[in-house]
Amino acid sequence: MEKKQDLKCSSADHEVDNSPKDEFQELLQTLEQHMSWDGQRLVKYKGFWFLVMIFRPMLFARKNFKAKDTDVIISTMSKSGTTWLKALTFSIANRDRFTIDQSPLLACNPHTVVPFLEYNLYWEQENPDLEDIPCPRIFATHMPFDFLPDSVHENGSRIIYIGRNPLDQFVSQRHFLLENKIGKEADHPLGVDEAFDMFCRGIHSWGPFWEHMHGYWNAHSENPRKVLFLKYEDLKEDITSQVKKIAEFMGFPFSLEEAKQGLIDQISGLCSFESLRNLAANKTGNNLNGLVKNSSFFRKGKVGDWTNYLTPAMAERVRKLMESKFEGSGLIFKI
């Protein structure tokens, strides 16, 4: 059942928090807040909307994460191909350590082998010790480009971003949140029309989506050796060339010998939607601090699924939005 919610959220609506007031709490109270369509609190900070539950870990990561030159940072707007990209980058970087049939991905969800800064590493600890993680370290984040820790901007670490057609991203996000019942209104969410309207006004987790994509697109245009910009749709269309591109960017190009042995296809096959979705490790269990089901990262894995849920008028609204927001930048997502 869907119902209308009172979307504005004042500081009086906050869950009771008896912990001693700290810098973070004080900051939170000064910021605009809104309820998401599934009942989670969102807070607006420096032009972006964040889930309140992720805000503190994100600020910790931003302040304390020390990137190494060899690090690879997977950056995405949620539901744009993070799980896929984690599996691919992990397999590419570790192909000398594990053969395909010994891959840890056969036993663990991709989110277990490549942690998020905000959902995993800084979730409970302000400044975890990450020094002993073997290099090349691969981390993931949904943070907007300007929010990345200074060391990521300043040193030789590389960033791989993957974007996705916002209509499919919205549909994917909606299913994911309703499936995992994260928000307190997940059983009585806002209807699709209202949720979509919020999405188009940029009021959604990690939104506005156009600012998120634009930040990484501009960074990629300015420094393509630092930031690789991928599109979910391109990976679906031609995974082989995209896997080669990712490997080259990461500094681990495939040798002719490896290509001849079929390693690119083997990695692409292992990380494909069908392969990962059918593994026991991805059919059971939870991830991201127990908040979400492993299986919920593998829904349909298709391009254009939005046509089953959204109207042509909604698509037109997003098309126009992208046209105006991305104007002159060269960034396009086919609808």
Residues with active-site annotation: 142
Question: Going by C-beta distance under 8 Å and a sequence separation of 6 or more, which residues neighbour residue 286?
Answer: 292, 293, 294
Is 118 a binder of ligand PAP (CB under 6 A)?
Answer: no
Is 80 a binder of ligand PAP (CB under 6 A)?
Answer: yes
Q: Annotate each residue in 145-164 with x if it binds ligand PAP (CB under 6 A) or - if it does not, as one string.
A: --------------------
Question: Of the two residues 162 and 321, which places its CB atom closer to ligand PAP in the complex?
Answer: 162
According to CB under 6 A, which residues from 299 to 328 bind ligand PAP? 299-301, 305
Question: Of the two residues 25 and 180, which places its CB atom closer to ligand PAP in the complex?
Answer: 180
CB of 207 to ligand PAP, least distance (A): 13
CB of 205 to ligand PAP, least distance (A): 10
Q: Total binding residues for ligand PAP by CB under 6 A?
A: 21
Question: Of the two residues 84 and 217, which places its CB atom closer to ligand PAP in the complex?
Answer: 84
Is 48 a binder of ligand PAP (CB under 6 A)?
Answer: no
According to CB under 6 A, which residues from 210 to 269 bind ligand PAP? none
CB of 273 to ligand PAP, least distance (A): 4
Task: Select the residue interacting with ligand PAP from 109, 141, 157, 172 (CB under 6 A).
Answer: 172
Question: Of the two residues 175 and 317, which places its CB atom closer to ligand PAP in the complex?
Answer: 175
From the CB of residue 323, how many other CB atoms can be counted at a distance below 10 Å? 10
Given a contact cutoff of 8 angstroms between Cβ atoms, the answer to whether 122 and 60 are in contact is: yes
Task: State the SS3 of the chain.
Answer: CCCCCCCECCHHHCCCCCCCCCHHHHHHHHCCEEECCCCCEEEEECCEEEEHHHHHHHHHHHHHCCCCCCCEEEEECCCCCHHHHHHHHHHHHCCCCCCHHHCHHHCCCHHHHCCEHHHHHCCCCCCCCCCCCCCCCEEEECCCHHHCCHHHHHCCCEEEEEECCHHHHHHHHHHHHHHHCCCCCCCCCCCHHHHHHHHHCCCCCCCCHHHHHHHHHHHHHHCCCCEEEEEHHHHHHCHHHHHHHHHHHHCCCCCHHHHHHCHHHHHHHHCCHHHHHCCHHHHCCEECCCCEEHHHHCCCCCCCHHHHCCCHHHHHHHHHHHHHHCCCCCCCCCC
Question: Of the two residues 175 and 245, which places its CB atom closer to ligand PAP in the complex?
Answer: 175
Is 141 a binder of ligand PAP (CB under 6 A)?
Answer: no
Task: Select the residue interacting with ligand PAP from 34, 62, 79, 212 (CB under 6 A).
Answer: 79
Is 83 a binder of ligand PAP (CB under 6 A)?
Answer: yes
According to CB under 6 A, which residues from 259 to 298 bind ligand PAP? 271-273, 276, 297-298
CB of 162 to ligand PAP, least distance (A): 8
Interface positions with ligand PAP (CB under 6 A): 76, 78-84, 168, 172, 175, 271-273, 276, 297-301, 305
